[in-house]
């Protein structure tokens, strides 16, 4: 196992302190160029034109979570600035049929803007068609219904800077193992735009930017419940791995359990998205060295802003990305706030 060196310290400093590259390398589902979310902002004139018009919005989410709560908060605060009332908020529980029912229910409240994550490209295309046909401004989180045309059927897709999430994960793991060594790569084995881009960005960054590090073991995962089993098999064949990348936090919990079961406190883990169990290991100096997250509150703010710009008849960018941030033991309190606009769990803060 490699120990931390001056190189690692320098790499970590660069990862945490350098601004995100001005030219985003994340591309949309159809190859769209990314527009940073900071460039999507309502002007004072926009606010004045929107206020007092009785406009309404609906938030039709695919599930409920801390992430969605933060996205909703960002959207609600932006709508409130413009005097727009949120009249419907739903949770489809990852059920495409329920999402369709939610859309039908929401339309009875006559919203002018709908924010949602389409669960299935084909089913969602049919489900949102009535809303699109009534002139509602549709803003989608991460996914796009099949066949939808920007500017005609929807105002924008808003998502994370997915390339930067994968890149920052690679840079953080590289820093933690001193810029050299052998690592495992546990990726999402499914055709899913968000995770695929993040995973591929991690791999590309290791291969292109960190020549001293070699990915010696790769394992696809589709069911997070199998993460411990798959990680144990990887470790059996590669017991001296310096680090492991895990596609998101839930399966990272299984990888952490596999390391603990064999008494391995040396192999470093980096993963994506915030989670109390993996963050707790990180702040206690365990295997986890970093969590790369999105700015969920900013995602919601940008979604609301671009929907309202569409309502005003302004031109809207097809594809908008919110920044990524690296959360470590040193900045966990600030990182949680920046991402989710709420305090980290008491256990993580040592309370």
Q: How far apart are CA 118 and CA 123, in angstroms?
A: 9
Reported confidence tier of residue 123, pLDDT bands at 50, 70, 90 = confident
Mean pLDDT of 262-284: 97
Looking at the structure, tell me whether residues 188 and 331 fall in a common domain.
Answer: yes
Q: How far apart are CA 121 and CA 114, in angstroms?
A: 17
Looking at the structure, tell me whether residues 134 and 236 fall in a common domain.
Answer: no
Looking at the structure, tell me whether residues 86 and 102 fall in a common domain.
Answer: yes
* 120 or 222, which is more confident: 222
β-bridge mates for residue 188, sequence order: 221
Reported confidence tier of residue 29, pLDDT bands at 50, 70, 90 = confident
Looking at the structure, tell me whether residues 291 and 174 fall in a common domain.
Answer: yes
Domain with residue 191: its CATH number is 3.40.50.2300
Burial class (CB in 10 A: 0-12, 13-18, 19+), 285: exposed
Q: What are phi and psi of 286, to 5 degrees?
A: -85, -150
Q: How far apart are CA 247 and CA 252, in angstroms?
A: 8
In this model, does residue 23 exceed pLDDT 60?
no
Tokens of 157: 């897709």
Looking at the structure, tell me whether residues 84 and 103 fall in a common domain.
Answer: yes
Domain count within the chain: 2
**Would residue 289 count as lying in a domain?**
yes
pLDDT at residue 66, rounded to an integer? 86
Q: Are 144 and 118 in contact (CB under 8 A)?
A: yes
Q: What pTM does this model have?
A: 0.86
Looking at the structure, tell me whether residues 204 and 333 fall in a common domain.
Answer: yes
Give the model confidence (pLDDT) of 43-79 as tens digits.
999 999 999 999 999 999 998 888 999 999 999 999 9
Tokens of 235: 């470790």
**Would residue 218 count as lying in a domain?**
yes
DSSP 143: -
* C-beta neighbour count of 288 within 10 angstroms: 29
Looking at the structure, tell me whether residues 144 and 73 fall in a common domain.
Answer: yes
Looking at the structure, tell me whether residues 175 and 146 fall in a common domain.
Answer: no
User: Measured on CA atoms in the order 140, 146, 148, 153, is the torsion positive or negative?
Assistant: negative
Looking at the structure, tell me whether residues 231 and 290 fall in a common domain.
Answer: yes
pLDDT at residue 324, rounded to an integer? 95
Give the model confidence (pLDDT) of 146-195 as tens digits.
999 999 999 999 999 999 999 999 999 999 999 999 999 999 998 888 89
Mean pLDDT of 30-47: 95
**Would residue 57 count as lying in a domain?**
yes
pLDDT at residue 65, rounded to an integer? 84
User: By residue range, what is the domain housing residue 286?
Assistant: 6-18+162-295+326-340
**Would residue 245 count as lying in a domain?**
yes
**Would residue 350 count as lying in a domain?**
no
User: Average pLDDT over the chain, rounded to whole?
Assistant: 91
User: Measured on CA atoms in the order 207, 210, 216, 218, is the torsion positive or negative?
Assistant: negative
Looking at the structure, tell me whether residues 77 and 190 fall in a common domain.
Answer: no
* Pairing status of strand 85-91 against strand 268-272: unpaired
**Would residue 346 count as lying in a domain?**
no
**Would residue 27 count as lying in a domain?**
no
pLDDT at residue 10, rounded to an integer? 36
């Amino acid at each position: 196992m490699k120990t931390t060196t001056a190189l690692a310290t320098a790499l970590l400093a660069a990862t945490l302190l350098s601004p995100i590259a001005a030219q985003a390398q994340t591309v949309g589902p159809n190859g769209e160029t990314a527009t940073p979310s900071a460039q999507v902002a309502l002007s004072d004139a926009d606010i004045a034109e929107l206020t007092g018009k009785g406009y309404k919005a609906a938030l039709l989410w695919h599930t409920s979570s801390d992430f969605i709560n933060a996205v909703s908060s960002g959207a609600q605060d932006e709508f409130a600035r413009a005097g727009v009332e949120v009249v419907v908020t739903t949770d489809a529980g990852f059920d495409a049929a329920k999402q369709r029912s939610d859309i039908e229910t929401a339309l009875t409240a006559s919203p002018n803007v709908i924010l949602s994550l389409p669960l299935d490209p084909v089913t969602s295309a049919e489900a949102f068609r009535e809303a699109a046909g009534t002139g509602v401004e549709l803003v989608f989180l991460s996914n796009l219904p099949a066949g939808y045309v920007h500017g005609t059927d929807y105002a924008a897709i808003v998502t994370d800077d997915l390339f930067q999430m994968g890149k920052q994960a690679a840079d953080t793991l590289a820093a933690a193992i001193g810029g050299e060594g052998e690592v495992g790569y546990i990726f999402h084995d499914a055709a899913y735009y968000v995770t695929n881009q993040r995973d591929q960005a991690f791999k590309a960054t290791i291969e292109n930017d960190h020549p001293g590090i070699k990915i010696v073991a790769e394992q696809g995962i589709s069911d997070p419940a199998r993460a411990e089993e798959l990680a144990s098999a990887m470790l059996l064949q590669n017991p001296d791995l310096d680090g492991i990348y895990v596609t998101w936090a839930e399966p990272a919990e299984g990888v952490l359990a596999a390391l603990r079961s064999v008494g391995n406190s040396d192999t470093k883990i980096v993963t994506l998205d915030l989670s109390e169990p993996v963050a707790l290991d990180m702040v206690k100096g365990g295997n986890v060295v970093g969590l790369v997250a999105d700015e969920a509150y900013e995602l919601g703010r940008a979604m609301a802003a671009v929907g309202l710009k569409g309502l005003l008849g302004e031109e809207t960018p097809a594809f908008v990305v919110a920044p990524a941030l690296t959360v470590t033991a040193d900045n966990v309190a600030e990182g949680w706030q920046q991402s989710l606009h709420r305090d980290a769990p008491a256990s993580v803060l040592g309370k």
